[in-house]
């Protein structure tokens, strides 16, 4: 487990939240196109053009976020009051760190953020980083120790690699959501919040019933920063009723 510490905390949690909301505006479209290059596949060219034309990619670079996904979390948090100053947050599937950056800004100096990923991550100021597998039995006690108390928020931006087979991809996505929910219910304090990426869980009544049973409220959300053509959405459950932590 590794940690990154900042030299200066720089103001109150409230100041950080206000700065974050001022920065997370919808950026302008650039409209750039790539010239055809010998040997470059059409799919690669389309991906590069999309990146160049994506205002959130440009804004993430300009504002120091590690990924455009930071704007997705900011938009969800603004609309649904996901964070409060002093919260303890677990970020699953955290690499490269965009969500952890936003969470760190929102919880303020008295909060804590623990980021987990299979991949190695560069240090982030005041974020505890743990490289590991969510299904490894050693992961849960490591996260509990790093948090120093029950979590208030568990985030999951995890997603499996797609195969192109719709049914198989949906089942694999469900497995990821269930793994995130298992960990969430093991660390969340009563009243806690759970946010996880899905590819639309419609049709899986077991997961839906579990979320409705264990949380006061459950809804699907799709922030403006999600690409319109993407099937991704997020399930947000608030008011955890259990005592897993």
Encode the chain (245 residues) as per-residue pLDDT tens digits.
444 333 333 444 455 445 555 455 445 554 544 445 555 565 555 545 555 567 888 888 999 899 999 999 999 999 999 999 999 999 999 999 999 999 999 999 999 999 999 999 999 999 999 999 999 999 999 999 999 999 999 999 998 887 888 888 888 888 999 999 999 999 999 999 999 998 765 557 788 899 999 999 999 999 999 877 777 899 999 999 986 66
Domains by residue range for the chain, with CATH:
10-20+66-240 (3.40.50.150), 25-62 (no CATH)
Provide the pLDDT for residue 4.
39
Is 201 within 8 Å of 208 (Cβ atoms)?
yes
CA distance 182 to 207: 11
Strand, helix or coil for residue 197: strand
Is 65 within 8 Å of 87 (Cβ atoms)?
no
Provide the pLDDT for residue 245.
65
Provide the pLDDT for residue 50.
58
Catalytic residue among 5, 36, 72, 197: 197
- C-alpha closest to that of 6 among 89, 113, 90: 113
| Sheet containing strand 151-156, strands side by side | 2-4, 127-131, 112-117, 88-92, 151-156, 188-198, 233-240, 215-221
- C-alpha closest to that of 196 among 139, 215, 229, 228: 215
> What is the rounded (10 degree) CA torsion for 105, 82, 179, 184?
90
pTM above 0.85, yes or no: no
- Known catalytic membership, residue 197: yes
Provide the pLDDT for residue 167.
80
Provide the pLDDT for residue 9.
38
Give, for 177, the enclosing helix (H) or strand (E): helix 166-187
Provide the pLDDT for residue 229.
75
The angle at the Cα of 232, spanning 98 to 56, to the nearest 5 degrees, equals 40
Provide the pLDDT for residue 6.
36
């Amino acid at each position: 487990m590794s940690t990154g510490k900042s030299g200066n905390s720089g103001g109150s949690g409230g100041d950080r939240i206000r700065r974050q909301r001022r920065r997370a505006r919808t950026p302008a479209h650039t409209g750039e196109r790539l010239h055809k290059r010998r040997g470059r596949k059409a799919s690669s060219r389309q991906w590069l053009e999309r990146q160049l034309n994506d205002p959130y990619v440009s804004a993430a670079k300009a504002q120091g976020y590690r990924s455009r996904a930071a704007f997705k979390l900011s938009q969800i948090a603004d609309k649904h009051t996901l964070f409060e100053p002093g919260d303890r947050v677990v970020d699953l599937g955290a690499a490269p760190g965009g969500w952890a950056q936003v969470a760190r800004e929102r919880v303020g100096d008295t909060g804590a953020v623990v980021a987990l990923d299979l991949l190695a991550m560069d240090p982030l100021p005041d974020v505890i980083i743990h490289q590991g597998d969510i299904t490894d039995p050693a992961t849960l006690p490591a996260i509990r120790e790093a948090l120093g108390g029950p979590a208030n928020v568990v985030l999951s931006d995890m997603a499996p690699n797609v195969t192109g087979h719709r049914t198989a991809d949906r089942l694999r996505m469900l497995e990821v959501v269930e793994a995130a929910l298992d960990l969430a219910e093991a660390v969340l304090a009563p009243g806690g919040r759970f946010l996880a990426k899905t590819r639309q869980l419609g049709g899986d009544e077991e997961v839906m019933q579990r979320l409705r049973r264990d949380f006061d409220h459950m809804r699907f959300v799709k922030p403006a920063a999600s690409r319109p053509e993407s099937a991704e959405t997020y399930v947000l459950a608030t008011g955890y009723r259990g005592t897993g932590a």
